[in-house]
Amino acid sequence: MTDERIEQWLHGAGVKFEYLDTCELSEIDIKESLRNQARVSEPLSPEQGMLYKVAMGQGDVFPPVVVHATGKRWVVMDGNNRLDAADKLGWKTWPFGVYVVTEASEQQWFFLTITANKTHGLPSSLKDRAAHAVTMINTFKATIKQAAKALGLTEGYIGTYRGTEKALKRTLDLGIKVIPSDTMLLRLSSIKLDEVFKAAVEQVVEKKFSNDAISDLVKTINAESGQEAMLKVINYEAQRIVGEEKASADIGLKPKKLRTALARAIGVIENNEDSVVAGMSKEQKTDVANLCTKGIARLRAIVRIAGA
């Protein structure tokens, strides 16, 4: 049975096609079809395949599949999971119709493949879509706005993905063996010098820095000039940040809150009428002063370690 929605989609892509009522599964190039799949990370879904298999076995009707005629066999553009379910049922023929794309440029073929599950079927992951967006931009010269619209993504998400992929390639090129998370890589990517970047990544992974600690480290590194000075500051900051995080854990505050609390405590000690603490009760001032005592003791220990 023909499908108006599919025909509008194909017409919109500007390709030539024809409709057939059935197709033999033997005509499908399975290996190439799975390679030509929008869901790069999972070409076939076992869960979706099982649902399709049960539904087909119960007599449900399915939409036509879409294939590209390349040589003697066909490559699936939309319908891999459906055809896989039919094959597992032992069917030799797909009975629900097939649209055969007979003429399509490389760009049209790619566009149809990546947009096949945008509005129906099993959608591709956000990461797969972002990867396709980058291909559209780099290979087919689409704008980031065009890629975002085609794949149902925000321009910001695509930009973040591109930055992360660039940073990942950089770590691999530099021979870094243990790769931090995407969020960590993105924060570290503003470090321009490769040797400094490599040293920072290794410290972050080894010391298990929090995201806040990474931001502090990068800010301090980028405030320096010259590779030697930056490498020195990495070692110093690594010890300081790790020590500060330990102190924060001991006291029960995050690093930024610890620094704020210490600043307030110093105000209490030096001047009880300081604007920051003027509104505190006597009990609150006593609590903050006690916190200051603990914090300063810990920070002194950190300074001794960092200076060693």
Q: List the end-to-end C-alpha distance of the chain, in Å, as a whole number.
A: 78
**DSSP string for 143-202:** -HHHHHHHHT--HHHHHHHHHHHHHHHHHHHTT--S---HHHHHHHTT--SHHHHHHHHH
Range from 52-61, 149-158, 226-235, 239-248 carrying the lowest mean pLDDT: 239-248
Q: What is the pLDDT of residues 126-185, one digit of tens each?
A: 888 898 899 899 988 999 999 999 888 999 999 999 999 999 999 999 999 888 888 899
Structure tokens at 225: 């000039």
Left (φ > 0), alpha (ψ -120 to 50) or beta: where does 105 sit? Answer: beta
Per the structure block, which two tokens stand in for 176? 């870094």
Compute CA 142 distance to the chain's CA centroid, rounded to the nearest angstrom. 21
Beta-bridge partners for 93: 24
Rounded mean pLDDT, 101-106: 92
Average pLDDT over the chain reads 83
Q: What is the 3-state secondary structure (H, E, C) of 110-140?
A: HHHHHHCCCCCCCCCCHHHHHHHHHHHHHCC
* Residue found by looking up tokens 């049960």 in the block: 54
Per DSSP, 273 falls in state: T
Q: 249: how many CB neighbours lie within 10 A of its CB?
A: 12
Q: Please report, rounded to a whole number, the percentage of residues in the chain having pLDDT higher than 90.
A: 44
- Window from 109-123, 231-245, 263-277 with minimum mean pLDDT: 263-277
Q: How far apart are CA 130 and CA 33, in angstroms?
A: 21
What domains sit in the chain, N to C, each tagged with a CATH number? 4-122 (3.90.1530.10), 252-308 (no CATH)
Rounded to whole angstroms, the Cα distance separating 290 from 283 reads 11
Give the span between the Cα atoms of 133 and 56, in whole angstroms: 34
Give the tens place of pLDDT for each residue, 264-301. Answer: 555 555 555 455 556 666 676 666 666 666 666 665 55
pLDDT band at 308 (very low <50, low <70, confident <90, very high): very low
Question: Which contiguous run of DSSP H or E holds residue 252?
Answer: none
In this predicted structure, what is the pLDDT of residue 70?
83
Least confident of 6-20, 59-73, 103-117, 253-267: 253-267
pLDDT digits (tens, 9 = 90+) for 8-34: 999 999 999 999 999 999 999 988 888
* Residues 111 and 78 sit within 8 Å (Cβ to Cβ): no
More confident residue, 242 or 8: 8
